[in-house]
Structure 1
């Protein structure tokens, strides 16, 4: 009887676990975003930005926030590494796509990468948080320009927003991730991904 009771309590108190995939072209600040989130959402110090090297492969960050267990997968954005992105799509609940808002010349390249990811069957229905990073830097374009450049106004098949943010100061990151977690909780994809993992 005790085992049944404790199992029920454990089930009721268990937090949902969501996998959030962080993508973007190289030098957009993906790993900086992950490290700043560690500082903002946990007691972990996060890595100093000057110590962060380009990601070759995968960085993983696990933290509890918004009554959920979040597992972040930060993948390298160099052209040669983008071919591994699709290996993570089937297990992804929500997508974080990071854009360097100070480098609009690379928006076309980033849009092609994002469109390819969103066109993958394994990622259908995943909510999208597009982080317009480096808002603290001179020359950063605003979220309206980023939204237009990436055609987000035309996207009606998935929940998506542009979040102006700075991985250096932390501005906008918590608000963006909070939105994404809430969107994932409302998404039918939440149940499909969880069922596949069992």
Structure 2
């Protein structure tokens, strides 16, 4: 009887908690498995628009928008335009691709040193753990100097070993979703401050030192404005549907 009452109280408290809207930016090198990781969280459902992918999902009391951006060298300039919109970051690593691990370290170092990322929580998905030659999470922490980087950026960080393809095949113990839940819990701890940062950064243009050297930011910005308008419209529709179901 006590356990039943306890479970009922927990259920009621979760219902009474406010619904929080959270935007997560999903980045990483090309072919690291970013889109597959998102599909693993959703059991295969995603919506893709041009080079940007936006996915809406409900996780507990969070309405989450996942932004999946291309990971090629040419596409990474677009990341800077999106840093300010995100409450947290998911960085996907192909832990079986040892030849590109140095490039991963350089890209992650640049990411965590960005003013609009510093202080925000970062989830590192060590993907493709089903491969024989995959680096373990502990190996990646050392190789990527992860502890040093997160201390410099003052960002809470968690590394989650996973296999996005395996998550697509099973209905339980999806490690990609487990990593996302960790990120959402950490965002919740600092939610008002993160929302204030997002609101300020979305209105403030990038400073010269934040801009990509290739000069493509204006084109990226116009694409992103269209993307944000469409995302906001879809998000409102999704929220209305969720309220009706509730």
Settle same-fold status: TM greater than 0.5. yes
Equivalenced residue count is 176
Task: Output aligned runs, 1:44-193, within 5 Å.
Answer: 45-46=44-45, 57-154=51-148, 155-156=150-151, 157-170=154-167, 171-187=174-190, 189-193=193-197
2: CA distance, partners of 1:70 / 1:138: 33
Which blocks of at least 5 consecutive residues in structure 1 are unaligned? Answer: 1-11, 40-44, 48-52
Shift of 1:88: 0.4
Secondary structure class of the residue paired with 1:126: coil
- Mean CA deviation greater in 114-123 or 184-193: 184-193
Flag the structure with larger Rg. 2
Identify if the C-alpha distance between structure 1 residues 24 and 178 changes in structure 2 by more than 3 Å, giving closer, same or farther.
Answer: same
| Matching of residue 25 in structure 1 with residue 29 in structure 2 | yes
Provide the C-alpha distance between the structure 2 equivalents of 1:179 and 1:56, rounded to a whole number of angstroms. 29
| Ranges of 4+ aligned residues in structure 1 off by more than 4 Å | none
> Given the two structures, how large is their TM-score scaled by the length of structure 2?
0.66
CA offsets, 1:44-72, max 9 Å, x none? Answer: x426xxxxx9x962111110103101100
Pick the structure with more helix per residue: 2
Among candidates 36, 40, 54, match of residue 36 of structure 1: 40
Q: How far apart are residue 14 of structure 1 and its match? A: 4.5
Tell me, yes or no, if the aligned pair for 1:134 and 1:140 is still in contact at 8 Å: yes
Deviations 1:82-116 (A, max 9, x none): 01110101111000000001012211111111111
* Partners of 1:193 and 1:62 in 2: CA distance: 22
Looking at structure 2, the residues matched to 172 and 159 of structure 1 have their Cα atoms a distance apart, in angstroms, of: 19
* TM-score after normalising by structure 1: 0.81
Change (3 A) 1:17 1:27: same
RMSD of Structure 2 on Structure 1 (CA): 2.2
CA–CA distance in 2 between the matches of 1:109 and 1:130? 15
